[in-house]
Amino acid sequence: MARILLITLYNEFNLGVRQLISELREEGHEAYLLCLKQYRKKDLAPEEEWYPDWQTELTPDGGRRVLSYPYPLSPCEIQLFRDLLHKIRPHYVGLSVYSAFVPQAQQVTAIIKETVPEAMVGWGGPHVTLDPAGSAEMCDVAFVGECDVPMVEFAKALDGGRDWRETPNIAWIEQGKLHRQPISPVVRDLDSLPFTFFGQEGAYYLEDDELVEGRPFPSSELNTSFKIMTTRGCPYVCTFCMLSFQKEVMPDTTRLRFRSIDHCMRELEEAKARMGHFFMEIEDDIFTIKPERMREFFEQYSKRIRMPFWCYTHPNYARPEMLQILKENHVEFIIMGIQTGSDRIATEVFDRRVTNATVLKAAQAIHESGIRVFYDIISNNPFETEEDRVETFQLLRQIPKPYGLQMGILNFYPGIAISRMREERGLPRTVDFQQYRFWNAMYYLASTVDLTDAQAEDLLRNENLRRDPSLLESIVSSTVRQTRENGELKSITSNYLREVHRLADRVRELESELHYIKARRGLNEFLWMSDRLRRLKHDVLGLKPHKNGNGHPQPNGKNPNYRNGTADSKGQTEPRGNGHASNHTNGHSAQSPSDPLAIPTNPSGERLAKQIGL
């Protein structure tokens, strides 16, 4: 069987790679996972070097935060990595490459080539799908698109000595020439795939000069969160998103495919058994797409899982009935992409198929639902004019508060529709970051403070603020912080309230159970006493031992109504399980009656009993 090591860079979650590990193992291959450094954010200093493919958040204080920062490998980490390669001696090492980490992927590839030159090195993942030719130049074999089937086929080829060049979806360079195999159809039936791999054996984590097997980085969200995708694909074609590119070159892969609800629940049950408690992150591009599916999902979820969760929604799909389902199931928060407040940018540049009117309608519905919400906005966009920026500012003013704003820089991944448009129009790849600080602060202000039209106009005309937005930034830093804290406080309060209600319901349930037990114990005591009395009558007055209700003694001398009770010292029994099962009198008396109130059968005893009033 093939020995394969798959590596994820700065992303211990990587669902794609974890999925491939399960698939390879299912086919009997030896598959190992290495999470090469953790997903970590970094706030950049003003003059710090910035790589345009990094996903970068624009913070209220005018700073830039890289969402997954490629901290360099230390010499010790490189050595630990080499040791692992020597230990595993893989036939093939696969790297999952995102556009942001191409330089790091190159460095890691070079280390592998030096350390285990006999191993083939392959790249796969979003960046390879966008740039197969460029990727093929940097490794032995590049895997394009969804590779659930191709990866296993490739492993089979390595194992069976078949020519790996026949594997679908691959690109490679031989004698200076690029070769490509056609893309195979994607897996339609997602239920046929095994669950994503989250096991411990053969899963390595390398960070902070330490390599550990089976134990994620202590500060990783992997310890507390569980990410799930219940669908693959998205019906939209936004030009800045990789899915739009995939739709152009491999339409099959972006067709929306759904896992069955039961398949998702079984995966979540496994997570529950492993983690106990977790925060579920539904990574579907749009989770709120089919209300009937959502209903079915939560019907099962509330019975089988019941963990806090969040999900994405979309302006065209944030309808009241869908929000209601989320609300009833206690969603912690939702995230919705707005991306721009300019209808022109939304249509001509982003191809969003969403207008401001739709955004406002969705935002109103979300506000009325009371669900905590974060809206995504793409800023620092070279396609924008002053008018587009003013429109975004005005839209953010109109959206009902409170809400959180997440603002990112527009990335231009290779080959993607928006990148081609930018080149055609001769626009720069990046904007003047300093100039945009004013606008970004204005957006944050509009999202947190109710401004009158006159105030908004004043701010828009204020040349001093444009020249130096630091005053604006210091104001919005505190308004945004307060909004966030209020949101968090509200979340905590509503979580506590929910917990209080849940506990109050449980107390009520327990009270009524106690009531029932007491009543039954009262009856039991009465029955026990009458049984004792009857025995006394038998001992003192010479009455015969009684039989059960139908006149036959029980074969094992046990009460037929006895189920799973445990006898206490008095012969009383306490309920096990839900406490409703046992309905017995005396758990261990060989002669205990099923109906202890039955009149004894001895005629003389009967007479006597009547005489003493029993």
Q: How many angstroms separate the Cα of 279 from the Cα of each of 222, 223, 309?
A: 10, 10, 6
Among positions 5, 16, 439, 565, the unique one binding ligand B12 when judged by CB under 6 A: 16
Among positions 1, 15, 212, 609, the unique one binding ligand B12 when judged by CB under 6 A: 15
Region binding ligand B12 by CB under 6 A among candidate stretches 201-209, 237-245, 450-458, 471-479: 237-245
Please calculate the CA angle 289-488-298 and round it to the nearest 5 degrees: 30
Sheet arrangement for strand 309-313: 42-44, 64-66, 56-58, 404-409, 373-379, 333-339, 309-313, 279-282, 225-228
Rule CB under 6 A: say whether 415 interacts with ligand B12.
no
Among positions 38, 56, 59, 68, the unique one binding ligand B12 when judged by CB under 6 A: 68
Rule CB under 6 A: say whether 229 interacts with ligand SF4.
no
**Residues of this chain, 267-286, that bind ligand SF4 according to CB under 6 A:** 285
Rule CB under 6 A: say whether 66 interacts with ligand SF4.
no
**Do 260 and 300 meet the contact criterion of CB atoms below 8 Å apart?**
no
**Residues of this chain, 292-331, that bind ligand SF4 according to CB under 6 A:** 314
- Alpha-carbon distance 565 to 584, whole Å? 8
**Do 402 and 426 meet the contact criterion of CB atoms below 8 Å apart?**
no
Region binding ligand B12 by CB under 6 A among candidate stretches 12-20, 175-183, 201-209, 417-425: 12-20
- Alpha-carbon distance 1 to 5, whole Å? 13
Among positions 22, 56, 96, 340, the unique one binding ligand B12 when judged by CB under 6 A: 96
- For ligand B12, the closer of residues 198 and 413 by Cβ is 413
Region binding ligand SF4 by CB under 6 A among candidate stretches 123-131, 238-246, 491-499, 566-574: 238-246
CB of 239 vs ligand SF4, minimal distance in Å: 9
Among positions 2, 58, 139, 243, the unique one binding ligand SF4 when judged by CB under 6 A: 243
User: How many Cα atoms occupy the beta-carbon half-sphere of 167 within 13 Å?
Assistant: 27
If residue 399 lies in a helix (H) or strand (E), which one and from where to where? none
SS3 of residue 560 by DSSP: coil
Among positions 244, 342, 379, 483, the unique one binding ligand SF4 when judged by CB under 6 A: 244
According to DSSP, residue 350 is labeled: S
CB of 323 vs ligand SF4, minimal distance in Å: 18
Q: Which residue has the tokens 């009198």?
A: 585
CB of 19 vs ligand B12, minimal distance in Å: 5
Among positions 39, 297, 443, 562, the unique one binding ligand B12 when judged by CB under 6 A: 39
Partner in contact with 375, chosen from ligand B12, ligand SF4, none, beta carbon below 5 to 8 Å by kind: none
Rule CB under 6 A: say whether 127 interacts with ligand B12.
yes
- For ligand SF4, the closer of residues 170 and 363 by Cβ is 363
Q: How many CB atoms lie within 10 A of CB 181?
A: 15
**Residues of this chain, 42-61, that bind ligand B12 according to CB under 6 A:** 55
Q: Which of 52, 11, 29 has the alpha carbon at shortest distance from 409?
A: 52
Amino acid, res. 5: L
Q: How many angstroms separate the Cα of 557 from the Cα of each of 71, 527, 535, 569?
A: 75, 18, 16, 19
- For ligand SF4, the closer of residues 85 and 229 by Cβ is 229
- Alpha-carbon distance 298 to 287, whole Å? 12
Partner in contact with 92, chosen from ligand SF4, ligand B12, none, beta carbon below 5 to 8 Å by kind: none
